Structure 1
Amino acid sequence: MVNIGEDCDDPMSPEYKKVFVRGNCVEFSPVVINQFPGRSVEDVTEMEATDNEVCKTIIGNQVKQWPRKDKLPSKKLTVKYAILNKIAAINWVPTTHSSDVATGLGRFIYAVGTKTPFDFGSYIFDQTIQHAKSLAVKMPIAFPTLLCSIILNQHP
């Protein structure tokens, strides 16, 4: 049983950066996530590529700007990014909508594919908070293996 408080992402709250798992308090923040896989905190930067630059790269210059509806058809992805999208849709950010690529996921697979420094911790944290605030019944958990590892690392 996991309890992510509504104020987990509010710096003014006493529940800030805290998640309760089976009665244990787990520190959970972008910094904790970035440090967990042995990454250096210095690796954390805001990605400077624009959405349009990301779009041009992941679809091989077929389109010059990100579509207005914020979704990019996955059939336009290059082979490399189509594979990363499939991996992401199954393992990282599980979704049943693998035929479209949202802006956030596009930026994520771009960062992985180009090895661009990226604040993975903030991305994963935001995905987890979005999940916690959702009322969806069957919404899959993003990055389940990483989250489980963080919990077990703090409370073996």
Structure 2
Amino acid sequence: MPRSKKQTQEAGPSSKKRKAPSKKTSKQPVTYDDTKFETEGAWNKWETFVATPRVAYVKIVKEFYANIHDNLDNPKHPKYQQVYMRGQYIPFSLLAILRYYRLDNTENDIFQAATTNLHEVVTSICQGIDHWPDGSITLNYKCLLPQVRTLDKMVSANLLPTTHTSTVTMERARLLHWLQTKTLNIVDYIFCNV
């Protein structure tokens, strides 16, 4: 027997989920701040580098990695520092990375994460702890110094991409330490890690 309109109305609110009101945020363009960067050119370089990555096309990323050949960094190979993608060779060199990020190749230190002492790493990037937690392969994100947390956001988005940011791996911790205490040839780091 069909329900009457009166019975339906008395049954209570509709079972359909209501949409939460949308939060409208006004996106203000970020502009050059002369209290943080000496020149507008310096700001423009970092603006590109620390920007949130755009949506990646997973299929193309997989093709790129699948097509990297063993002789990518062999100057004697005819396709030296080139990756075959969709019918053509794409330059993938230190110079190509420099151009993409609009950076100068002025930093010469070599990143040697494996040789960095973990005690030194923890004391330079953390507050409240002075040693790596026993038996753990990660640190809690909350123990990072405030300025290192900001740096970690950039590292997690651009250098060691991850969506799992509540903990910090040894590799990420060592990279954060290196960025805090030394200079780093970021272009060389990206090229070597790929």
Question: Same fold, TM exceeding 0.5?
Answer: yes
Q: Distance in 1 between matches of 2:140 and 2:97?
A: 30
Match of 1:23 in 2: 87
Q: What letter matches 1:100 in structure 2?
A: T
- Structure 1: gaps (5+ residues): 130-156
Match of 2:171 in 1: 104
Q: Which amino acid aligns with 1:120?
A: I
Relative contact order: is structure 1 or structure 2 higher (C-alpha 8 Å, sep ≥ 6)?
1
Contact map agreement 1:56 1:65 (CA 8 A) in 2: no
Name the larger-Rg structure.
Answer: 2
Match of 2:184 in 1: 118
* Distance (whole Å) between structure 2 residues aligned to residue 67 and residue 30 of structure 1: 38
Cα contact 2:132–2:139 (8 A) shared by 1: no
Aligned-pair identity in percent equals 25
Query: In structure 2, do the counterparts of structure 1 residues 81 and 15 end up closer, same or farther at CA, with 3 Å as the change threshold?
Result: same
Supply the distance in 2 between the matched residues of 1:120 and 1:14 (Cα, whole angstroms). 26
Q: Match for 1:110: what amino acid?
A: H
Matched pairs, number: 127
1:73 to 2:179 alignment: no
Normalising by structure 2, what TM-score? Answer: 0.50
Q: Are positions 1:55 and 2:122 aligned together? A: yes
Structure 1 counterpart of 2:142, one-letter code: K
Conserved? CA contact 1:74–1:99, under 8 Å: yes
List runs of 5+ in structure 2 lacking aligned partners. Answer: 1-59
Pairwise CA distance, 1:57: 0.9
Q: Deviations over 1:106-150 (max 9, x none)?
A: 233334445x311212321243x3xxxxxxxxxxxxxxxxxxxxx
| CA RMSD between the two structures | 3.3
After superposition, the C-alpha distances for 1:30-65 in whole angstroms (9 at most, x for unaligned) are: 454346534333412124783432321110362245
After superposition, the C-alpha distances for 1:6-42 in whole angstroms (9 at most, x for unaligned) are: 4154527544421123323222134543465343334
Give the aligned residue type for 2:129: Q
Q: Which amino acid aligns with 2:150?
A: I
Contact 1:51 1:65 in 2 (8 A): no
Q: Distance in 1 between matches of 2:98 and 2:108?
A: 8
Counterpart of 1:117, as a letter, is T
Q: Match of 1:121, SS?
A: helix
Contact 2:108 2:184 in 1 (8 A): yes
Counterpart secondary structure, 1:25: strand
